[in-house]
Structure 1
């Protein structure tokens, strides 16, 4: 598989990093776009070094490189994940405002009818956020907020992050064991 991963400056950079680790472990070809704010957020929120994160991708692009191969529909991919997806990026994608490589690559994925999964990070959501998410959902994108599940009894933040990463990989049909799956339980009723 060939997947594009975009990491924006929204809080929750660990979702994108963990996604890269999982895709790298699975041996996929990963094309990474880091926004300048993503690099700042990574430094604030994690102990990861930018070069360490870059090393998890097959190719890395500057968000200002609109001439990158992934900005063309003629470059075949299996889709794109934006984790985390800022509301600014979500709005740009929703409106077709391809002002950087993250929003351009997402625009290409949509126009080519490929899989686009957005992990939006914002709370509370206002009507503009919700309208942009609805618009993108109607255009074929999957909106996958990083909402933890508790049926799997998470013990650590990593467990919570892995659940979202697992659910995202499921969207691409990528088998994984990052989280405990739901098992039917008798409730006695």
Structure 2
């Protein structure tokens, strides 16, 4: 799967918010479709991966990604707009990272890479993870949206009738990749209307959509 004579190149960042499995799943799905994955995980993200998935989760991600970067190495390729990428997903995106992006405080590689996406007018998808939200969170979401980012809280699609947490994670991860807008088949299962759902699930009752 190529774009401009090279594979799709996507930056994936994982911060310390809960939901590290979202980032892990996005990396796996992107690699599955033949994309280059440029991975950067904050120190807090590494701790969350270990706590929520397992002590070897970060190591397995390093092996899975096309290239991985030290979160403190602001001299890395993804810190420059001249290094062509097709978009960036931060999953999960902590409120600290969101605030730093909103203010342009590029003091680590994740925030700098995100800032590059915005200045180069590339897709930046933020799976902002926090609840409930205070006014500062909402204002930061407004700011990054005005700059061109897409704020995508990881909200379950209950209308799809997920049977497990893995189903929920899979759908959110697929939707995040689809939001990059790359010329590739959509990964997320689409909603075909209530009748279409019932045709696939005979005996089920009606459900709503987003």
Query: Which one of the candidate residues 172, 185, 209 is aligned to 1:175?
Result: 185
State yes or no: 1:93 paired with 2:75.
no
Paired residue for 1:46, among 48, 53, 61? 53
Distance 2:81 2:171 in 1: 31
Cα deviation, residue 40, structure 1: 0.5
The total of aligned residue pairs comes to: 186
Are residue 161 (structure 1) and residue 169 (structure 2) matched? yes
Aligned equivalent of 2:136: 128
Unpaired runs of at least 5, structure 1: none
Query: Could you say what secondary structure the match of 1:43 adopts?
Result: helix
Give the corresponding residue for 1:15.
22
- TM-score normalized by the length of structure 1: 0.95
Instruction: Note the C-alpha offset of 1:152.
Output: 1.0
Secondary structure (helix, strand or coil) at the match of 1:118 reads strand
Whether the 8 Å contact between 1:6 and 1:33 is mirrored in structure 2 is yes
Q: After TM superposition, which residue ranges in structure 1, 4 or more long, deviate above 4 angstroms?
A: none
- For 2:201, the equivalent position in structure 1 comes to none
Q: TM-score scaled by structure 2?
A: 0.85
The Cα of 1:180 is off from its aligned counterpart by 3.2
Write the distance in 1 (CA, Å) between the matches of 2:130 and 2:159. Answer: 24
1:66 aligns with 2:83: no
Distance, in Å, in 1 between the alignment partners of 2:144 and 2:189 is 29
| CA shift digits 1:134-158 (9 cap, x unpaired) | 1111111000000001121100101
Deviations 1:87-112 (A, max 9, x none): 00000000000010000000011000
CA-based RMSD: 1.2
Q: Secondary structure at the match of 1:5?
A: strand
Shift of 1:38: 0.6
Assess if the C-alpha contact under 8 Å between 1:169 and 1:175 holds in 2. no
Q: Which runs of 5+ in 2 are unaligned?
A: 1-7, 196-205
